[in-house]
Amino acid sequence: MIDPAYAGNIYVSIPDASQLKFQLDATGRIYLRNINAFDSNAPPCCYSYWIDTTTQEGKNTYALILSFSAQGRGFWFDISDYTTPQQITWAGPGSHTVLPMPSVRTTSPADHAM
């Protein structure tokens, strides 16, 4: 059973980070452009979900994506819904283990089980 506080969250699995397409802009946002390739419920390309690299949390998340991309590893991230464009504030390895990143919400789908 999922903790009710997180029951509405959507956990998106990216099995191979090297398959993720993203775009950087001048404000420090990195837009995840092909989430619908991993979850057909997600809206199509292009500017619905982003990482804010002007924050330490965003820098850590971007570093995770780059590192996992080089290794072909999977990871998860969560969003509250597919109807509202929003910032990605949590990401973790595909193994459901907790990634020790400061200022990042360090939970995974498995951690929300009661």
pLDDT tens, residue by residue, 5-39:
555 778 888 999 999 999 999 999 999 999 989 88
Assign residue 50 the CATH number of its domain: 2.40.50
Give residue 25's domain range: 4-112
Q: What is the largest CA-CA distance in the chain?
A: 42
Q: In the prediction, which pLDDT does 97 show?
A: 41
Q: Domain count of the chain?
A: 1
Model-wide pTM > 0.75: no
Span 31-74, pLDDT tens digits: 999 998 988 888 888 889 999 999 999 999 999 899 999 999 99
Q: In the prediction, which pLDDT does 58 show?
A: 92
